[in-house]
Structure 1
């Protein structure tokens, strides 16, 4: 089946889609759900109609959730999140929970490229919703990881954005984020001291 999958990419778009659709159905009949979800994600990547692409990705999310296929669940969730951010569509609460779950999974598994995409999607949504508490939490969690892997530039970039977001806000009105505010204050001091050297 793997050879057939690779050959499907070498043909033209219409033939490739037809081949992939056939392979996906075959994989599902054989109860190879992870493989079927991988193929379905490939179909989504080749689909140009955005509504159809969303529909396909939602099918992958549903299938992957039922089959406990965390990796493909996360991949489809991220693609949907990117599409929402790019189109300016509102993200549903259910999808928001899925993005947060995906971030937690990616953060724990140390899948950096996917974590970066998920972080960027969540950051955009939290900014759009003016959700300061979750921006602070996301910064704290991501900052620790960035520092561990030597991505200080990424930390500084989001530190600046977060501080701009907080300008003029009544910090005392924020609920349950004292740890995050203390962390941000500590990182501000550390970053300033490094820049002044």
Structure 2
């Protein structure tokens, strides 16, 4: 590939499989690996192997974990009554960084997107409904899907599905970021900000 020795060419091709990595960045990364020590390269390879082979899904919340139940589901100090529904495992990490949420999670592993052929059965909605149906302690579901078309469609679908259950379904607020200016905000963001207004 591109006149490089075959091992470098193969490594460049592998890096290009990663999101937003083009040929130039992939080549730079491949040559960086070449300059790393053998121990660092072996550590990198082991980390890749472990991520693929040593992780599983939590039997309760569907988050990625080394053992099931995950540490959040097993934590007795967390509020069992409030469940935050997120699209991806990385969203759990984002919520945890705020140190504001002390409930538990449910990870959907995607969002409903008919354009991409992703329906309700392709994400973990069935598991969410089963979880709510078998756990009478849950009193509130916070839907924290992304503020885009797919996230909104998923939130609406879940809220309709949960109508028969005696739980309060809420949606995280969307709107202007802290430090943002009104003049630079798009119409949808401003509409969401007005929708989510609160008394001060």
Q: TM-score, normalised by structure 2?
A: 0.32
Q: Which has the larger radius of gyration?
A: 2
Higher strand share: 2
